[in-house]
Amino acid sequence: MIEEIKIGKDEILDVCLKLKESCDFLAFVTAVDYPERGLLELVYNLRSLTDNKNVILKVELPRENPEISSVAVVWPAAEWHEREIFDLFGVKFSGHPDLRRILLPEDWQGHPLLKDYVKPGVIKRPETIK
């Protein structure tokens, strides 16, 4: 059984603390970029290894200056997932114990998984070319 819940960014810690009682495993956290809607969506996949329960939490953040509380205090494994999202999408996780790039060099400019990212030195293709 998979349950999907959409919550506001200010609810993330309270909801995760409550779900920790029934979901003992954070499988992953990822992000999806929706530039046409001006937002990023964080997707948290939580599981109960004993009850075979699966909960998907979805949180929308503004694309400009996205920030949300870290859930690493609830599930320590979130530290790595949040660092990856910070590195590749630019989401800031307040309260994270070590928020820094994990895949790219510290001096890297931008966040490569944003759909409008252009690697420095690469000429962007005109929209008319398909």
CATH number at residue 59: 3.30.460.80
Looking at the domain assignment, is residue 114 inside a domain? no
The predicted model gives 66-93 an average pLDDT of 97
The predicted model gives 6-32 an average pLDDT of 96
Whole-prediction pTM value?
0.89
- Would you list the DSSP string of 90-123? --EEET-TT-S-SSS-TT--S-TTSTT---TT-P
- What are the tens digits of pLDDT across the range 41-61? 999 999 999 988 999 999 999
Looking at the domain assignment, is residue 28 inside a domain? yes
Question: Domain span at residue 47?
Answer: 2-94
Q: What is the predicted pLDDT for the residue at 129? A: 52
Whether 121 shows a pLDDT value over 80: the answer reads no
**Which residue is associated with the tokens 């790039």?**
101
The predicted model gives 101-118 an average pLDDT of 94
